[in-house]
């Protein structure tokens, strides 16, 4: 019988994942084994010749099976790093993508109080999911007032836990489909969202990690992918203070569509598209006129 030490099981799992076309097979094996043993990834190598107990082996086998059935690593470990913090995630919320750091960086520029420490802005995030955007903002600038909504109770629960851990709970979360339960009063200085924007017809072609596990409600943007932008821009001006801003993440090929929608409303002034590191326009900044 093989004595399954940490190093042996890592090599075996790496080649098993390779055979099953799993991305980054070695890294995945390390992350899952460390999670299973409750230790840090690098500690695996400090204990490389430690034999695994029977229950550790059977626990690890279950994790391997889940990954081979396409479950994303973040759902298996229950967490994902985003913008310098580790966020709790789970089925029912979108796994945060590095792409979304572009909108966070842009929002931080808008919210930076500079020398005027007393300046307080009111910020609303729509469709907060695991809360990564609003929490990253609240963690950086504690002087503003933060609100975040989601239609999904599961998402709100996860977001609240993340906020307690990372941003000391400085955010007011509430259940809402876009603006449905908000009184029409201008009170926000910034409305931010990473809404669903994938055209329905494109979803079938995405990786099974996404189609089998991630919440469609967080991804499906309707026939042309632009439904959320139509819904949000139709109403956002009623909730923004004069000069208030809207920041939205979008698909790299949705520039024209988003600009057309914003142009239908005289209340807005289009400001700019912001590019990601790959040079694609991935965020739009729109301002409500004064
Ligand atoms: N705001 C969350 C994120 O960017 C959720 C977005 C969504 O569910 N579309 O990960």
- Please tell me the predicted confidence (pLDDT) of residue 114: 83
Long-range contacts of 49-56 (CB under 8 A, 24+ apart): 49/5, 49/6, 49/7, 50/5, 50/6, 51/3, 51/4, 51/5, 52/4, 52/5, 52/6, 52/9
Decide: 137 in ligand 1 pocket, CB within 6 A.
no
Domain coordinates of the chain in residue numbers?
A: 6-69, 83-288
- Please tell me the predicted confidence (pLDDT) of residue 116: 72
Handedness of CA 218, 71, 211, 280 (dihedral sign): positive
Decide: 281 in ligand 1 pocket, CB within 6 A.
no
Decide: 127 in ligand 1 pocket, CB within 6 A.
yes
Return the residue whose CA atom lies nearest to atom 8 of ligand 1.
218
Output the average pLDDT for the chain.
96
Handedness of CA 183, 187, 192, 198 (dihedral sign): positive
| Contact in structure between 151 and 181 (CB atoms under 8 Å) | no
Decide: 218 in ligand 1 pocket, CB within 6 A.
yes
- Which atom of ligand 1 is least distant from the CA of 100? 4
pLDDT at position 118 over 80: no
How many whole angstroms from 18 Cα to the centroid of ligand 1? Answer: 30
Give the pLDDT mean for 90-115.
94
- Please tell me the predicted confidence (pLDDT) of residue 1: 66
How many whole angstroms from 196 Cα to the centroid of ligand 1? Answer: 8
The tens digit of pLDDT for each residue in 14-41 reads 999 999 999 999 999 999 999 999 999 9
Instruction: Say which CATH architecture domain 83-288 belongs to.
Output: 3-Layer(aba) Sandwich (3.40)
- Which atom of ligand 1 is least distant from the CA of 93? 8
The reported pTM is 0.94
Decide: 132 in ligand 1 pocket, CB within 6 A.
yes
Give the pLDDT mean for 200-209.
97
């Amino acid at each position: 019988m093989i004595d399954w030490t940490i190093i042996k099981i890592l090599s075996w799992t790496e080649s098993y994942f390779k055979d099953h076309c799993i991305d980054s097979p070695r890294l995945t094996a390390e992350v899952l084994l460390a999670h299973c043993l409750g230790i840090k990834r690098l500690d695996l190598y400090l204990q490389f010749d430690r034999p695994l107990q029977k229950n550790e082996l059977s626990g690890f086998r279950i994790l391997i099976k889940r990954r081979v059935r396409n479950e994303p690593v973040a759902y298996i470990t229950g967490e994902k790093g985003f913008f310098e913090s580790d966020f709790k995630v789970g089925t029912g919320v979108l796994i945060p993508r590095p792409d979304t750091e572009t909108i966070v960086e842009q929002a931080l520029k808008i919210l930076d109080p500079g020398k005027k420490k007393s300046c307080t802005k009111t910020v609303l995030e729509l469709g907060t999911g695991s809360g990564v955007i609003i929490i990253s903002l609240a963690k950086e600038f504690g002087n503003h007032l933060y609100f975040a909504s989601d239609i999904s109770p599961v998402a709100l629960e996860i977001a609240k836990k993340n906020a307690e851990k990372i941003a000391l709970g400085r955010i007011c979360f509430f259940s809402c489909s876009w603006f449905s339960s908000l009184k029409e009063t201008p009170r926000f200085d910034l409305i931010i969202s990473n809404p669903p924007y994938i055209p329905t017809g494109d979803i079938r072609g995405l990786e099974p990690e996404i189609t089998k596990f991630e919440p469609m409600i967080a991804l499906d943007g309707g026939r042309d992918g632009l439904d959320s932008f139509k819904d949000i821009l139709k109403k956002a001006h009623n909730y923004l203070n004069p000069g208030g801003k809207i920041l939205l993440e979008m698909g790299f090929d949705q520039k024209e569509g988003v600009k057309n929608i914003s142009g239908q409303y005289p209340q807005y002034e289009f400001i700019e598209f912001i590019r990601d590191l790959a040079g694609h326009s991935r965020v739009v900044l729109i301002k409500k006129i004064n």
